[in-house]
Structure 1
Amino acid sequence: MKKFRAALVIAALVIGGSTAHAVQPDEIMADPVKESRARDLSRELRCMVCQNQSIDDSDAPLAKDLRVLVRERIGAGDSDSQVINFLVARYGEFVLLKPRFELHTLLLWLLPPLLLGGGVLALWLNSRRKTRVAVGDTDSLMQLSPEEQARVERLIDEQPSPREPA
């Protein structure tokens, strides 16, 4: 058990400790406050090549160009929202890893909770139906129609009795 715990701790350290950033030393700004802003913005922007990585984590040449562009805009005095708006105007909403909550992204934001709610509702209705059948009148479920009763009697009559030889 101790070996398992040690392996688990080592795996957690390796996975958690390896936050690789693709920012090159020549991209880093001299002002640590501006560099921190640039890094925060870079984590919110999608690499257009990798598509599920931020530009902060991507090694793609386009991601590097975007990181440099972000730093240039910050160096020019743009606010964070101005930098984001500039990039959205240039590349579209897809450049944002977390899209804005607007009318044209409403379905994107509301579909997951609606699907989850629909699934919960379906499970609740299904369990309620099963409970109603289990608690309800079971005698009506056990009764046969006249046609079914006649067929059962015919099948019983056709069967040889256990005392008769086959």
Structure 2
Amino acid sequence: MNATAIDTFEFESPEQEKIFHGLTKELRCPKCQNQNISDSNAELAKDLRNKTYELVKEGKTHDQVIDYMVARFGNFVRYDPPITPATIFLWLGPLLFIVFGFLVLYRQAKHKSSKDDELDSDEEARLKDILKQEIK
């Protein structure tokens, strides 16, 4: 059951309602971690919906409400956090990990293929014996 079906909010204008619904879809529930505050049934999400409603009713803009929530919960409260020096590794880390993995695999494959082309002295002697037997 969707939590917003239980909550009833009245707005002074359709614009306020639009801002509110947009914000509740954009803000992540810190407790649920993978739900926005609109879809979460957690008490914290309910509190955040109520606070969002209060701020919108006070005439705060979308960005002001986001700033308020980020100041209290950090960028984690946003589903799409901005790239900052603190989050750059989180954004680029998976890509760097994949590139590093491919480089390791490439080096191992290259090293193995060069080893496969070379025969050690025992293998070379055995090959010469086999070739001599074939010629006879």
- 1:43 to partner: Cα distance: 1.6
Specify every segment of 5 or more residues in structure 1 that has no aligned partner in the other structure, as ranges. Answer: 1-19, 154-166
Larger CA Rg, structure 1 vs 2: 1
Structure 2 residue matching 1:46: 3-state secondary structure = coil
CA offset at residue 63 of structure 1?
0.6
Taking the aligned partners of 1:45 and 1:137, their CA distance within structure 2 comes to: 55
Letter in 2 for 1:82: Q
Give the secondary-structure state (helix, strand or coil) at the position aligned to 2:3. coil
Residues 118 and 79 (structure 1), Cα distance of their counterparts in 2 relative to 1, 3 Å cut: same
Q: 2:20 corresponds to which residue? A: 38
The structure whose RCO (Cα within 8 Å, separation 6+) is larger is 2
Instruction: State yes or no: 1:70 paired with 2:46.
Output: no
Q: C-alpha distance in 2, partners of 1:31/1:57? A: 23
Residue identity (%): 37
Q: Given the alignment, which residue of 106, 121, 124 partners 1:145?
A: 121
Q: What is the match of residue 69 of structure 2?
A: 87
Match of 1:115? 97
TM normalised by structure 1 equals 0.61
State the shift of 1:84 in Å: 0.6
Code of the residue aligned with 2:46 in structure 1: it is: K
What TM-score do you get using the length of structure 2 for normalisation? 0.72
Structure 1 ranges of 4+ moved more than 6 A: none
Change (3 A) 1:148 1:117: closer
Structure 1 residues 61-87: Cα deviation after superposition (integer angstroms, max 9, x where no partner): 211111111121112111111101111
Question: What CA deviation, in whole Å up to 9, does each residue of 1:87-113 have, x standing for no partner?
Answer: 111222222222221111111111122
Residue 26 of structure 1 aligns to a residue whose secondary structure is: coil
RMSD: 3.3
Distance 2:25 2:59 in 1: 20
Aligned length: 126
